[in-house]
Amino acid sequence: MANISFNNVKIVGISACVPKNISYNSDLLNEYPKEEVDKIINNIGIKEKRFVDSDVTASDLCFKAAEQLLDEMNIDRSSIDMLIFLSQLPDYRIPATSPNLQDRLGLSKNTACLDISLACSGYVYALSTAFAYASQNGINKVLLLVGETFSKIVSKKDRVNAPLYGDAGTATLIEKSENSESFFSLYSDGSGFKSIIIEAGGSRCPTNSTNTIPVEREDGNYRSDSQVYMDGLEVFNFTLKVVPKSINDIISYSKRDIKNIDYFLFHQANKFMIDFFVKKLKIDSEKVPISLDTFGNVSSPTIPLTIVTRLNKVSKNEKRQILMSGFGAGLSWGTSILDLNDCHICNLIEY
C-alpha cells in the first residue's frame, strides 16, 4: 500500500462527455432469456449505456469535455502546465495520445504530456499523479483527461461483458490551492492479472488472422482473443474483500471520521457491489450517488462521470468532502479522500 497526502492541491473543475447513441439492456431480450435480462437490470442495475460511432475514440470524447471545461472556466490555455491522458484505448500504439490532445486543444508547446494505461482504478491513480505534479514548483495547473470506449473491445455475444460496458470521456482540472488537504491509498495484486484481460494485441501475443475471430467460449459466450475477457466471479470476490478494507485504511490514515464524509463515489461496476459496500461500511445510501443505471460501467471515467451527472446540482458553497474508490483490472485498486469545495462542475455534454 502506498499512502500519499497533499496539502496544497485541489480539483477546481470537472466535465464529462458521452456519446449520443443509447443502447438499452431491455433489447437483450432478443438475445438472452428474460430471466437473464431481468437479473442484469435489477441486480446489476444497468438499464442503458452509451456507445460511440465507429470513427470516434476515447480521446475525442475527452477533447470535447476539455473544450467545455476550459471555455466555461475561462482558462487561459497557455496556463496549462501539464496534460495527462489516461485510457486503455489510445488512438495509436505509437505515438502517445496526450501530445496530440495538447495540439488539438491549443495548449502551449511548453505543456508536459503523459499517457497512463490503467483500468477501473485509473481515475484515482491518475488523480494522485496529477496532484503530485501540481504540488511541484513550476507546475500550477494540470489537465487530466480520462476516457474509454469499451464498446470497441467487447463482443456483443459475450453474456458477461456485453450488458455492462459503455463509453465516456472526462476532463478534470487540478491546480495549486492553499488550505486544501487530500489523501490517497494505492494498491495492486498482479497475481490476478488474468481476471480481466485482452490476450491478443500486445507484444506477448500479437494480433493475427486467428485471434481476431470470435469463437464459442464458456457458457455459450462468443469472443475473440482481441476482445475483453472477465472472470466475473473472481473479480467480484476480490472486490468485496479488498474495497471495504481499503476504505477503513484511508479513514484511519487520514484521521477522518467516516460519518463526516459527504459523498462516497464508487467505481460503477454493478449495483450489488455498491449495495454491499453501503451495508458493510454502515454508510447512508443517500451519500452514495449512482450513475451506472444510465451509463453502465465506463471503466476509468466512472467516478468523474458520476460527479458530473449526480452532483452537478449541489451548491458550490456546500461542504463536499468526498471519498473515491476505484477497483478493477490489474488487479488494481485505490481510494482517496479530498474535497470538491468551490469546484466547477459542468453539465453533461453529448457527442
Single out the catalytic residue among 62, 120, 343, 346.
Answer: 120
Q: Tell me the pTM.
A: 0.95
Which tens digits make up the pLDDT trace of 189-243? 999 999 999 998 899 989 998 988 888 887 778 888 888 998 888 998 999 999 9
Q: Dig out the grid coordinates for 19 from the structure.
A: 456519446
What's the mean pLDDT in 19-32?
A: 88
Which tens digits make up the pLDDT trace of 279-334? 999 999 999 999 999 999 999 999 999 999 999 887 666 768 999 999 999 999 99
In sequence order, what are the residues at sequence separation of 6 or more whose Cβ sits closer than 8 angstroms to the Cβ of residue 178? 8
pLDDT number for residue 315: 67
DSSP state, 346?
Answer: P
pLDDT number for residue 319: 64
- Residue 275: burial class (beta carbons within 10 Å; 0-12, 13-18, 19+): middle
Architecture of domain 1-351 in CATH?
Answer: 3-Layer(aba) Sandwich (3.40)
Domain boundaries, the chain: 1-351
344 catalytic? Reply is no
Give per-residue burial for 222-231: e unless 16+ CB within 10 Å, then b: bbbbbbbbbb
Spatial separation of the C-alpha atoms in residues 66 and 103, rounded to whole Å: 13
Dihedral over alpha carbons 66, 303, 113, 339 (to 10 degrees): 90
113 catalytic? Reply is no
Band the pLDDT of 78: cuts 50, 70, 90. Answer: very high
Q: Dig out the grid coordinates for 114 from the structure.
A: 503523459
Q: Is residue 31 predicted with pLDDT exceeding 70?
A: yes
Single out the catalytic residue among 113, 161, 267, 346.
Answer: 267
Spatial separation of the C-alpha atoms in residues 101 and 77, rounded to whole Å: 12
In sequence order, what are the residues at sequence separation of 6 or more whose Cβ sits closer than 8 angstroms to the Cβ of residue 106? 77
